Structure 1
Amino acid sequence: MTTLPHDFPHDAVLEAAIAAADVARSVIMPFFRRGVRADDKSDASPVTVADRTAERAIRAVLSERLPGFGLMGEEFGLEGADSPYRWVIDPIDGTRAFITGRPTFGTLIALLHNNVPLLGVIDQPVTGERWIGLRGAPTRYLSGLPGIPATRACADVAAAELSCTAPEILDAPHRPGFDALAAAARRTSWGGDCYAYGLLALGQIDIIAECTMKIWDWAALVPIVEGAGGRMTDWSGQPLRADGDGTVLAVGDARLMPCVTGLLSTIVT
């Protein structure tokens, strides 16, 4: 497992990430269930004034606290490309959930060093839940709701709860593999966006398999899932990369990996 760099500013990073999540929560909540208008981006995904306002607020906090770090956000692109440290943020992961009043969206804040995720935050403003993952440390779960940040033992796919955000994100080349996995799993549930990964880190879900994911969709999730005892890779079991194929696999029990990746490799000719 990759360890933290020797010059990693532990306290400053955690404080900045928490402050940014706090600000994002305060910005987003006044828009929730207020009938905000959604515009379609070039990839047909929706965006709202809440997404844009929250990303600006997050950027302002992180830039002020750690000005030498790079910043990449879903809505406003990349700044500081030369820095080995880079924040990667998604102000509202699950905009479709947000605009339809579902509390399963979340704010994602990640910090990468040389493209390796070191820190991740999932913040759910409505329920008040927050997951914080730091490479090499146990995941923290902050909430008034029940939950212990630890994945559950599940070595058999036939006993596993499988989750995916929506059928539409499964592109044609990968759909046969997902269908094979779904047929083998105990149950398949839909919906959740980043919230599902938080539930996996609480031992409520065993497998998540998704496609067409960008780096801001998964970077924050890696330290959280792995810090709770799980694993995250692409569908072939390789480390996630910004230039990868967009597939993302999370398992709560690493013993599932050989069977799950084998099923996901199914091709129908």
Structure 2
Amino acid sequence: MGEIDKTELVALTHRLADAARGETLRYFRSSGLDTSSKEADRFDPVTVADRAAEKAMRDILDRERPQDAILGEEYGTKQGSSGLTWVLDPIDGTRGYISGTPTWGTLVGLHDGTRVILGLIDQPYIGERFLGGLGQASFKGPHSDGPLQVSGCKTLADATIFTTFPEVGTATQAAAFREVAETCRLTRYGMDCYAYALLAAGQIDLVIEAGLAPYDIQGPIGVVEAAGGVVTDWQGAPADQGGTAVAAASPEMHAAVLEILARHV
């Protein structure tokens, strides 16, 4: 992949996030937001904003990269011929979105058939954007911008750990998470994809999750790895196809977490 191609792909990724940002902000904290549940037995929300934001990104890709495949949360898979797949989550953290918290985000990942080569996390309401891959690791926000770099924290006793839901998947997975969390200095919940952005920015040290889809994790993988972090599943294998994920600020911390998780799963 030449330098010109890399530059174009990064620029396109920003355009996708810009398009999604316009749609998500249009509906955020608005009265009468159209919300429904994807599942009958539990509340798994989807909104008009989710669909509008993904459609806006897909429209751009259809015009500018019709040869590429697309995998999106709301509209599924479109096959391609280039070997590249754009992986889209228009609103990661829809529960937070409908609650009015500014911790949701738009995720864009670019996968080359083997691995994630580019990732983006965008928080439109705060106005922060985190990008990693193709030789870049940077953030831009209303107060500052600059390079991304994980904290490098090596010991769990010094770590701040995040996960989205206290129950963390199955009962067995929740027990595994609790054992890790009990060794950490500070445990916090929520944030969805924004936790991975904080990890890449060096603010926190560890994110552990379960029950992920590919579109939940591929954007964060690109950002965290470019910032110097380590991301795998709970067994140490690639996490790009979803399931479980451990994102750590150092190889030492990552290894310590896997050792604890292995006692449970």
What TM bracket, shorter-length normalisation? over 0.9
Residue 39 of structure 1, CA deviation? 0.8
| Alpha-carbon separation, structure 2, partners of 1:168 and 1:174 | 8
Gaps of 5+ in 2: none
* SS of 1:133 mapped into structure 2: strand
Residues 104 and 192, structure 1, Cα contact 8 Å, conserved in 2: yes
Moved more, 44-53 or 91-100: 44-53
Q: Give ranges in structure 1 of 5+ residues lacking alignment.
A: none
Secondary structure (helix, strand or coil) at the match of 2:211 reads: coil
CA distance in 1, matches of 2:3, 2:113: 13
Residue of structure 1 in register with 2:26 after alignment: 30
Counterpart residue type for residue 38 of structure 2: K
| 8 A contact 1:180–1:266 mirrored in 2 | no
Q: Does 1:40 align with 2:47?
A: no
- Give the alignment partner of residue 140 of structure 2, picking from 123, 142, 163: 142
Structure-1 residue corresponding to 2:68: 69
| Paired residues for 1:49-198 under 5 Å | 49-135=48-134, 137-146=135-144, 149-198=148-197
Per-residue CA distance 1:93-128 (angstroms, 9 max, x = gap) = 000010000000000011110141111111110011
Runs of 4+ aligned structure 1 residues displaced above 4 Å come to 5-8
**Inter-partner Cα distance in structure 1 for 2:37 and 2:114:** 29
Q: Percent identity?
A: 36
* Contact kept? 1:112, 1:118, Cα under 8 Å: yes
- Render the CA deviation track for 1:27-77: whole Å, top value 9, x for unaligned: 110101013132111374210000001010010012211110001100000
Q: Per-residue deviation at 1:239?
A: 1.4
Counterpart position of 1:235: 234
Say if 1:176 and 1:266, in contact at 8 Å, map to a contact too: no
| Superposed displacement of residue 153, structure 1 | 2.5
Give me the CA root mean square deviation. 1.8
Which residue of the partner structure matches residue 259 of structure 1? 256
Aligned length: 261
Secondary structure of the corresponding residue to residue 260 of structure 2? helix
The aligned amino acid for 1:262 is E
TM-score by length of structure 2 reads 0.93
User: For 2:171 and 2:94, how far apart are their aligned partners in 1?
Assistant: 23
CA contact (8 A) 2:67 2:81 kept: no
Matched position secondary structure for 2:107: strand
Give the drift of 1:254.
1.8
Structure 1 residues 110 and 262: alpha-carbon distance in aligned structure 2, compared to 1, 3 A threshold: same
Give, in whole Å, the separation in 1 of the partners of 2:46 and 2:131: 25
> Normalised by the size of structure 1, how large is the TM-score?
0.91
Q: For residue 256 of structure 2, what is the amino acid of its counterpart?
A: C
